[in-house]
């Protein structure tokens, strides 16, 4: 059964907290936060969060489908992954 | 006795700091025993943003004159020296260039990819733009000063993330991809962002240097551009009887990349040997056995995955590994299992769980 967008956002926030070793508390992460610029994650952290979400959703994102310029915020990435279920 | 070459470096704005950064990167590699290149400061003239440096190729014996040696992890994970004559490196540089070209340094200049950029800048008397450091954010900040980029496809994707739609405004005239396979998606995205730029992707190995440069906008290697090559039964490309470690398949008149022969994991251009990650796991934590492998990733090409048997929690293991291995070698996917699958010979199956 597909997850709702809200569920994807909440899961992503918890993974961001985990990957950042608690530096970004899930409750304080906003959907409008840029994952790298605002939350201070690097590209490997970003890739880790994305991979964990893919695993949880049971999907695999193809490089061809990703426009990285438009996947900078928590909300944007969550919506993208949600749409690939 | 040393052989001296001149290297013109053009730097915007903060010129003394940036030259010092370039020197620091190179000299640090010498101090770490990773290269034999020394950059000696000697300014003969300077404008706002151009300085003249003498580039000294250090030699230990007279026979070493003109040789450049840099360390590489190669395909086996064991560091080794690769030596080439500086003049041979220059002779192989066939790209065109002009003094007004401003190449952005996106690689460590003490590694062959970065040194290749320096050599090209040197040969064409172009200019070099040196970022604060080699983090994507710093490279993005330096981009407005550059007209020519040489970078990996993963760095390109990271810059898209960092810069967003503003990246189209960067004055890029030449884009050269290397270090990883450039997919058709990467080439098409680059073309959409900079329709006026000349886009090239280069296939090279540390041992052989540049093998093929392609600028027709399509992924893969045109067969007519290769010399003395063959594909083995296993699909490995051999060039000049040298095994590249890369697997390619023939499609029409092109070769398309299909993977690595060895288990080396290519995380955005950084090579990770699974054995090193596994050794670190066992050294830092209560891990009985483990297996590191490549996981395909849309952003970085590949990231490290890890399966292990042990009592430690995955999150705790990751935290320990952050202090034990380079960040790019830290597994992005960690799964604790009851047991790892074995082959009939009793060896841990490396590909079964990929």
**B148 close to B126: Cβ distance less than 8 angstroms:** yes
Closest CA of chain A from B165, distance in Å: 6
Closest CA of chain B from A8, distance in Å: 18
CA distance B321 to B314: 10
Q: What is the pLDDT of residue B289?
A: 83
**B30 close to B36: Cβ distance less than 8 angstroms:** yes
Contacting residues of B for A52, CB less than 8 Å apart: 332-333
Task: State the complex-level ipTM.
Answer: 0.91
pTM: 0.74
Compare all CA atoms of chain A with the CA of B154 and give the residue at the minimum distance: A43
- Which residues pair with residue B52 across a beta bridge? B8
Closest CA of chain A from B256, distance in Å: 16
Contacting residues of A for B186, CB less than 8 Å apart: 63
Higher local confidence (pLDDT), B92 or B66: B92
- Which residues pair with residue B175 across a beta bridge? B149, B199
CA distance B36 to B81: 10
CA distance B54 to B76: 35
Q: Give the helix/strand (H/E) hosting B16.
A: helix B15-31
Percent of chain B, pLDDT > 70?
A: 72
Count of C-beta atoms within a 10 Å radius of residue B143: 23
Q: Hey, are the CB atoms on B299 and A72 less than 8 Å from each other?
A: no
Asked whether the predicted pLDDT for residue B4 surpasses 60, the reply is no
> pLDDT tens for residues B71-83?
665 544 555 667 7
Asked whether the predicted pLDDT for residue B198 surpasses 60, the reply is yes
Q: Hey, are the CB atoms on B160 and A18 less than 8 Å from each other?
A: no
Q: What is the pLDDT of residue B83?
A: 74
Q: Hey, are the CB atoms on A72 and B161 less than 8 Å from each other?
A: yes
CA distance B198 to B179: 18
Q: What is the pLDDT of residue B23?
A: 67
Asked whether the predicted pLDDT for residue B149 surpasses 70, the reply is yes
The string of DSSP codes covering A26-68 is GGG--TTSBTTTTT---HHHHHHHHHHHHHHHT----GGG--G
Q: What is the pLDDT of residue B15?
A: 45
Q: How many CA atoms lie within 13 A of B332 on its CB side?
A: 29
Give chain B's mean pLDDT.
78
Asked whether the predicted pLDDT for residue B35 surpasses 50, the reply is yes
Partner-chain residue, chosen from A21, A51, A68, that has the shortest CB–CB distance to B157? A68
Closest CA of chain B from A48, distance in Å: 5
Q: Hey, are the CB atoms on B296 and A71 less than 8 Å from each other?
A: no
Percent of chain B, pLDDT > 90?
A: 27
Q: Of the ranges A44-58, B88-102, B136-150, which one carries the lowest mean pLDDT score?
A: B88-102
Q: What is the pLDDT of residue B333?
A: 93
Judged by phi (left if over 0) then psi (alpha if -120 to 50, else beta), residue B301 lies in left
């Amino acid at each position: 059964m597909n997850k709702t967008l809200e569920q994807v956002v909440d899961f992503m926030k918890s993974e961001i907290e985990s990957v950042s070793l608690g530096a970004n508390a899930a409750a304080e992460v906003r959907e409008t936060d840029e994952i790298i610029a605002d939350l201070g994650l690097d590209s490997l952290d970003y890739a880790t969060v994305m991979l964990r979400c893919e695993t949880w959703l049971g999907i695999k994102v193809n490089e061809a489908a990703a426009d990285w310029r438009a996947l900078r915020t928590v909300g944007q990435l969550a919506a993208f992954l949600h749409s690939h279920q | 006795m040393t052989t001296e070459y001149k290297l013109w470096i053009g730097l915007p704005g903060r010129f003394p700091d940036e030259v010092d950064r370039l020197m620091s990167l190179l000299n640090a590699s010498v101090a770490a025993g990773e290269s034999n290149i020394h950059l000696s400061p000697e300014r003969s003239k300077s404008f706002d943003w151009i300085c003249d440096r003498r580039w000294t190729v250090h030699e230990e014996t007279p026979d070493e004159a003109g040789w450049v040696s840099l360390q590489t992890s190669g395909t086996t994970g064991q560091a080794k020296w690769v030596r080439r004559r500086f003049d041979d490196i220059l002779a192989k540089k066939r790209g065109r260039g002009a003094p007004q070209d401003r190449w952005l340094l996106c690689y460590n200049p003490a590694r062959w990819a970065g040194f290749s950029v320096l050599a090209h800048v040197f040969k064409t008397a172009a200019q070099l733009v040196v970022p604060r450091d080699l983090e994507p954010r710093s490279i993005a900040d330096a981009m407005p000063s550059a007209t020519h980029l040489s970078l990996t496809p993963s760095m390109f994707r990271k810059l898209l993330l960092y810069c967003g739609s503003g990246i189209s405004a960067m004055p890029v005239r030449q884009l050269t991809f290397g270090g990883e396979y450039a997919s058709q998606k990467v080439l098409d995205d680059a073309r959409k962002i900079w329709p006026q730029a000349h886009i090239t992707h280069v296939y090279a190995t540390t041992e052989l240097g540049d093998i093929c440069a392609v600028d027709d906008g399509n992924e893969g290697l045109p067969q007519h551009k290769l010399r003395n090559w063959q594909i083995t039964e296993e699909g490995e490309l051999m060039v000049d009887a040298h095994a590249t470690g890369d697997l390619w398949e023939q499609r029409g008149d092109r070769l398309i990349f299909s993977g690595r022969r060895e288990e080396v994991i290519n995380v955005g251009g950084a090579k990770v040997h699974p054995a090193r990650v596994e050794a670190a796991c066992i050294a830092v934590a209560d891990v009985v056995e483990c297996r590191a492998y490549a996981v395909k990733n849309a952003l970085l090409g590949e990231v490290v995955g890890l399966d292990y048997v042990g009592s430690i929690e995955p999150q705790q293991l990751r935290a320990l590994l952050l202090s034990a291995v380079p960040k790019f070698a830290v597994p992005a996917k960690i799964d604790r299992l009851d047991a790892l699958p074995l082959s009939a010979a009793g060896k841990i199956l490396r590909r079964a769980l990929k």
